[in-house]
Chains A and B, each alone.
Chain A
């Protein structure tokens, strides 16, 4: 069944080509995009089931393994694929609903669908990639698509925000490429399974430089403090669905690359202290930024940065419990953060603005919207029994098990960040939902059912993570075990 592995990359790319050819027929475009992403979701689910027996490996183009490109679907990659496919599908439906309601004026749909599918292909390629250069190509595919999406329509505000985003991303790509060049000179291979033995044989200093460069490149993409300043400046100006999918997926691709390289290529937690200090400052700086914001989308962008700190905390612990919790938290965070940005888009349509001082009384005027915001907000803040609580609990327990000073500091930092997240979101609730109704800036735009339903589906999915938390957590636990053992991956790729 290994022929399934390349499909999550190939199908969106073919879909992008067909939707581009069909640029005059928006209805056909929509049908193609939706069916392609649905098929991707189905294939990803199959891959998740199949990868339970061991990683599925495909040598693309028939080139023998260390020479050619390999795609590897292990359980971690398959899990990320399933969640990202589900999220991209929901966001696509939401954007179709929005485009339908706005008469397609804000969305030049002929460009939107192909670009969105290419973005998906880049994300899946990065997840499946078994060698570093293909990972770089995956990143470039998704970044190139994201440049187009973030400047969609070419208004002055978006051009300004897009410029920062493009330049920062280009810098991180150059650092990644330079690191690839150095790794190839040092080891003579870029295949991750083959790198395992060869990197271990390198002198400590050289290995540290290579690790540092990769961390720098991925750190910019994952928005880790102090490399995170670009994110809150650039994300909020894009259209709501674009911001939602960026917030959910793009930073997580960076986190995935960090998890993959730190466990497979550079194990042993040599930079654990550095990662944990970065995690602590990301959490605190991010959430303090969120508390100070007066605009909902900017506030959510800052909570996004802040919660990347939790993921990094788990990676920094480098223990089985830590990585298991980090993977669980990543899955939870993709769903919840995307949902909150979609809800912010609905709030903007209802209240005419996302500025908190302009909103008010939405709990009375739009009760469904209030529920849609309330559940993921509690989930993000980590109120029991939601999955946010379970993920944070796992991280805190892993930190306490470690027992050193720095993990204990991070345990305290996690709890504080969680409380401040609750405070920031409660402020949104008080201002936008509970206050007496404000006079909106603009007449409320219609929110068609096609926008509300995918949002509600994601809210339910976020709650569902709690219901399936037991099996899911034991799955992420085996993922962490395999990642730390390294042999299942290496033996699958190089039998």
Chain B
């Protein structure tokens, strides 16, 4: 099988852009990232079939036909991606209605841990000060 290099580069670009967007904090960008990733995966499945004439019996020689199975799978995957996109959109809208923004929040427990860590940093900062004072003394 000869894979199409254009298709594979497109898959790579979609995956790269999708991953970058997925790492953002706002849900709308995450949504765009999920869409790009989903389309990238669909193209990857499409690339699994060798290109050929439409797989309709009677229109072409069977040996020249493309494999219809990946296309059938992509149709299913597109429907699934559509549903998930709609759900994420609803989630982003709900988040915006409730809190005025659609940024992904830290977990309550995570925030508590961070607060504790920050309090510790306060005491660490004092140690750092004395350290710096000591190094300053050494320098002089």
When the two chains form the complex, which single residue of B45, B76, B99 contacts A156, counting CB atoms closer than 8 Å? B99
Known: A137-B80, A178-B41. 14 other contacts (CB 8 A): A144-B80, A144-B83, A151-B94, A160-B104, A164-B104, A164-B107, A166-B88, A170-B37, A170-B84, A173-B84, A174-B34, A174-B37, A174-B41, A184-B73
Given contacts A167-B34, A181-B47, A298-B109, contact A147 B1 (CB under 8 A): no
Given contacts A161-B107, A171-B22, contact A177 B41 (CB under 8 A): yes
Classify the secondary structure of A's interface with B. helix
In this complex, the member of A133, A161, A167, A177 whose beta carbon has the largest number of chain B beta carbons within 10 angstroms is A177
* Contact (Cβ within 8 A) B105 A184: no
Does any Cβ of B come within 8 Å of A50's Cβ? Answer: no
- Bound together, the chains give a CA A156 to CA B108 distance in angstroms of 12
Which residues of A lie under 8 Å from residue B84 when comparing CB positions?
144, 147, 166, 170, 173
In this complex, the member of B47, B99, B107 whose beta carbon has the largest number of chain A beta carbons within 10 angstroms is B107
Given contacts A156-B99, A166-B91, A233-B107, contact A185 B38 (CB under 8 A): no
* Contact (Cβ within 8 A) B70 A184: yes
Which residues of B lie under 8 Å from residue A469 when comparing CB positions?
none
Subset of 22 A-B contacts with CB under 8 Å? A144-B80, A151-B94, A155-B98, A159-B91, A159-B95, A160-B105, A162-B91, A163-B27, A163-B104, A167-B34, A170-B37, A174-B38, A174-B41, A177-B41, A177-B44, A178-B44, A181-B41, A184-B45, A184-B48, A184-B69, A233-B110, A295-B109
Q: How far is the CB of A300 from chain B (nearest CB, A)?
A: 14
Task: Please list the residues of chain B having a beta carbon within 8 angstroms of any beta carbon in chain A.
Answer: 1, 3, 18, 22, 27, 30, 34, 37-38, 40-42, 44-45, 47-48, 67, 69-70, 73, 76-77, 80, 83-84, 87-88, 91, 94-95, 98-99, 104-105, 107-110
Which residues of B lie under 8 Å from residue A162 when comparing CB positions?
91
Does any Cβ of B come within 8 Å of A140's Cβ? Answer: yes
Question: Count of A residues near B, CB < 8 Å?
Answer: 36
Task: Please list the residues of chain A having a beta carbon within 8 angstroms of any beta carbon in chain B.
Answer: 67, 133, 137, 140, 144, 147-148, 151, 154-157, 159-164, 166-167, 170-171, 173-174, 177-178, 180-182, 184-185, 188, 232-233, 295, 298
- Bound together, the chains give a CA A177 to CA B104 distance in angstroms of 25
Which residues of B lie under 8 Å from residue A167 when comparing CB positions?
22, 30, 34, 88, 104
When the two chains form the complex, which single residue of B37, B83, B91 contacts A163, counting CB atoms closer than 8 Å? B91
* Contact (Cβ within 8 A) B41 A166: no
When the two chains form the complex, which single residue of B44, B83, B94 contacts A159, counting CB atoms closer than 8 Å? B94
